[in-house]
């Protein structure tokens, strides 16, 4: 198995150098993101955040991602890009990754992620870095795989894609899962619920133009669309199996697939 000790030492140094006032040096949109994510991830927050019920309907894409990690994770240095509470960091570690790095702007999220990794028994293979994803500070060509789950639409992609390419090893892969901007009903819901999103996020839901931009830096592979009928499982959980069956068929149709809630794709460094 690859020795990742040198990369771990660099991560330790990066965390030591993080200034107490580093947040004040960030752009306004990034400070808003921290405030928003700290609130959403606060373990002491009362009640369910209004968007959470929909993410319990994503069984199909979750199963795909878990299977992907089983094939690709063993022994690799993986960056969970915008790791949130660390669910995917821990998943990759359980799939026998050599080292998984969770990076996020939100201190609350990272503390949650650290506790979760320890609870799940994979703390020895996980490291966490409080940093700006658009300027990670990681060494050139140091990462085998990057995973982004609902993160890219929070980013300035003209900065993000070059940074990802810089830190990926040759042949390295970005696996991304993003909400799509084309279903009119979902877009209406987003417009009617701006309070559960940052100002930046509302205007930057992922589009095919963004995917085309990624093609300037990577080879784009294995594009898939997910979840239309399954969204109804948020209100009718007993019907999720049927809704998933409908999605398996209908989201393969040329016109219908663009109404999907989410998209996954791989970006391969040439």
Q: What is the pLDDT of residues 34-55, one digit of tens each?
A: 998 998 888 887 766 667 889 9
Helix, strand, or coil (residue 265): strand
pLDDT for residue 60 is more than 90: yes
- The model's pTM: 0.93
How far apart are the C-alpha atoms of 252 and 63, rounded to whole Å? 18
Section 152-168 average pLDDT = 97
pLDDT at 264 (0 to 100): 98
For residue 146, the model assigns a pLDDT of 98
Residues facing residue 147 across a β-bridge? 80, 175
Residue count of the chain, please give it.
270
211-253 per-position pLDDT tens digit: 999 999 999 999 999 999 999 999 999 999 999 999 999 999 9
Q: Superfamily for 5-268? A: Vaccinia Virus protein VP39 (3.40.50.150)
Mean pLDDT of 246-266: 94
Q: In terms of Cα–Cα distance, which of 105, 172, 165, 143 is closest to 10?
A: 143
118 bridge partner residues: none
State the pLDDT at residue 199: 86
- The arrangement of strands across the sheet holding 99-104 comes to 126-130, 99-104, 77-81, 143-149, 168-179, 262-268, 219-226
Name the band, by pLDDT with cuts 50, 70 and 90, for residue 13. confident
Indicate if the alpha-carbon torsion angle 131, 137, 142, 145 is positive or negative: positive
Q: What is the pLDDT of residues 123-139, one digit of tens each?
A: 999 999 999 999 999 99
**pLDDT given for residue 170 in this prediction:** 97
Beta bridge partners of 74: 97
Q: Quick one: pLDDT at residue 20?
A: 61
Residue 266 bridge partners (DSSP): 175, 221
pLDDT attached to residue 51: 77
Distance CA 256, CA 228 (A): 9
What is the domain partition of the chain in residue ranges? 5-268
pLDDT at 49: 65
Residue 48: its pLDDT value, please?
Answer: 64
Nearest to 75 by CA among 171, 24, 151, 145: 145
pLDDT band at 207 (very low <50, low <70, confident <90, very high): very high
Q: Assess contact for 228 and 261: CB atoms under 8 A.
A: yes
* pLDDT, mean of residues 48-76: 90
Of residues 247 and 270, which shows the higher confidence score? Answer: 247
Q: pLDDT per residue over 88-118, tens digit each?
A: 999 999 999 999 999 999 999 999 999 999 9
How much of the chain, in percent, has pLDDT values that exceed 70? 97
Residue 226 and residue 247 in contact, taking contact as beta carbons nearer than 8 Å: yes
229, 246 contact by CB (below 8 A) = yes
Q: What is the mean pLDDT of the chain?
A: 92
Provide CB contacts within 8 A for 27, sequence distance 6+: none
* Contact (Cβ atoms closer than 8 angstroms) between residue 132 and residue 140: no
Q: What is the pLDDT of residue 75?
A: 95
């Amino acid at each position: 198995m690859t020795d990742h000790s040198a990369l771990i030492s660099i991560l330790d140094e990066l965390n030591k150098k993080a200034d107490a006032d580093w947040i004040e040096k960030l752009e306004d949109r990034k400070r808003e993101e921290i405030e928003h994510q700290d609130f959403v991830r606060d373990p002491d927050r009362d009640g369910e955040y209004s968007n959470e019920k929909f993410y319990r309907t994503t069984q199909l894409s979750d199963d795909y991602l878990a299977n992907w990690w089983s094939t690709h994770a063993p022994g690799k240095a993986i960056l969970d890009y915008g790791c949130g509470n660390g669910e995917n960091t821990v998943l990759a570690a359980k799939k026998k990754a050599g080292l998984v790095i969770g990076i996020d702007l939100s201190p609350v999220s990272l503390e949650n992620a650290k506790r979760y990794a320890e609870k799940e028994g994979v703390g020895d293979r996980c490291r966490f870095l409080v940093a700006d994803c658009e300027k990670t500070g990681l060494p050139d060509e140091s990462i085998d795989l990057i995973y982004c789950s609902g993160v890219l639409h929070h980013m300035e992609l003209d900065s993000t894609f070059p940074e990802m390419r810089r830190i990926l090893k040759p042949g390295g892969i970005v696996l991304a899962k993003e909400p799509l901007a084309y279903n009119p009903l979902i877009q209406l819901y987003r417009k009617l619920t701006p309070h559960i999103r940052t100002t930046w996020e509302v205007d930057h839901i992922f589009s095919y133009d963004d995917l085309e931009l990624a093609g300037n830096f990577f080879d784009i592979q294995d594009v898939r669309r997910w979840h239309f009928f399954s969204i109804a499982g948020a209100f009718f959980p007993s019907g999720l199996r049927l809704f998933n069956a409908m999605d398996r068929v209908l989201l393969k149709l040329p016109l219908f697939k663009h109404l999907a809630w989410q998209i996954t794709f791989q970006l391969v460094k040439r």
